[in-house]
């Protein structure tokens, strides 16, 4: 994978296809490959005439994995995303994020609207503001010697997922400490760019998409039918809603 340097870290990314750029920012314990390639998102975006850029966030995938929680605040990962756009010479892109990646997209859209054509927040509803209540349980699950005796359902889910992806669990625990920083309600109200908020109907982690969309000046909500947090990622209806949104806000050449 190609890499670039930022904040004394080596970070990995991949570029797929040609056309208007869509920067894809994955969720916690995932990677560009797991979140966007294996779920069919890259194929969907490139097939619609977009250039899909997948970034492995610090602490994840093929990127460097520091163990210091101070290095994982959302603004640090926003800076990584901007550094990648600068590295590639891209002035403005659509941004697509899932869960933690959606939180990063929110801070990016708020602080640097001139770089964001539009944003899609997948798996992140009103808990962008309210915060994640299971964070400490997830940290404990990641640092536990094994799954034995680990009863908290969300902690078990993420521990199994982290083991499946071969993740550095200490780096993930550090990331969970600070990356879950909520966004103030007043800042959400100041996000200027168009945003699609897409959350699974059975997602108990993200919070309601409608409530967040109402706060956003140019927000739209989409409820992904019959999906929870883990199973909504690659959902076909989610992809269809995203392409329809992109087609209106940031059309590819083939759509104009």
In a domain, 86, yes or no: yes
CA angle 62, 137, 95 (to 5 degrees): 45
Q: Dihedral sign, CA of 202, 204, 208, 209?
A: negative
- pLDDT at position 26 is 98
Prediction pTM value: 0.96
Q: Is residue 195 part of a domain?
A: yes
The answer to the question of residue 154 being in a domain is no
Q: State pLDDT tens for residues 12-38.
A: 999 999 999 999 999 999 999 999 999
Convert the pLDDT of each residue in 116-140 to its tens digit: 999 999 999 999 999 988 889 999 9
State the chain's mean pLDDT as an integer.
96
**219 three-state secondary structure:** strand
Q: Domain containing 89: what range?
A: 3-130+184-255
Alpha carbon separation from 14 to 39, 154, 247 (Å, rounded) = 15, 30, 23
For residue 54, is it within any domain?
Answer: yes
Q: What is the pLDDT of residue 133?
A: 81
Average pLDDT in the 62-70 region? 98
pLDDT digits (tens, 9 = 90+) for 170-185: 999 999 999 999 999 9
With b for 16 or more beta-carbon neighbours within 10 A and e for fewer, the 201-221 pattern comes to eebebbbbbbbbbebbeebbb
| Number of compact structural domains in the chain | 1
Cβ neighbours for 155, distance < 8 A, ≥ 6 positions apart? 134, 137, 138, 140, 141, 142
Please report whether residue 208 resides in a domain: yes
Write down the number of H helices and E strands in the chain: 11, 8
Is 217 inside a domain boundary? yes
pLDDT band for position 256 (cuts 50, 70, 90):
very low
pLDDT reading at 255 higher than 60: no
Does a structural domain hold residue 150?
no
Which CATH number goes with the domain that contains 214? 3.40.50.1820
Query: What is the chain's length?
Result: 256
Tell whether 211 is covered by a domain.
Answer: yes
């Amino acid at each position: 994978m190609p890499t670039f340097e930022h904040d004394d870290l080596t970070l990995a990314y991949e570029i797929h296809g040609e056309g208007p750029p869509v920067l894809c920012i994955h969720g916690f314990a995932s990677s560009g490959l797991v979140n966007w390639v294996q779920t069919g998102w890259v194929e969907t975006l490139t097939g619609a005439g977009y250039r899909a850029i997948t970034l492995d966030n610090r602490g994840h995938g093929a990127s460097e994995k520091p163990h210091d929680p101070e290095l994982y605040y959302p603004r640090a990962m926003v800076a990584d995303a901007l550094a990648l756009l600068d590295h590639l010479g891209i002035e403005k892109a659509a941004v697509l994020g899932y869960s933690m990646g959606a939180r990063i997209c929110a801070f990016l859209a708020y602080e640097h609207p001139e770089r964001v054509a539009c944003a899609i927040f997948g798996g992140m509803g009103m808990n962008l503001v309210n915060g994640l209540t299971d964070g400490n349980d997830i940290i404990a699950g990641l640092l536990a010697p094994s799954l034995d005796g680990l009863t908290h359902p969300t902690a078990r889910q993420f521990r199994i997922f982290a083991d499946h992806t071969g993740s550095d669990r200490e780096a993930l625990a550090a990331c969970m400490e600070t990356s879950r920083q909520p966004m103030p309600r007043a800042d959400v109200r100041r996000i200027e760019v168009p945003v699609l908020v897409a959350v699974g109907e059975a997602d108990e982690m993200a919070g309601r998409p409608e409530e967040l969309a109402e706060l956003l000046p140019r927000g739209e909500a989409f409820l992904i039918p019959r999906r929870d947090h883990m199973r909504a990622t690659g959902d076909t209806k989610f992809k269809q809603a995203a392409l329809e949104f992109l087609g209106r806000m940031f059309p590819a050449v083939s759509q104009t």
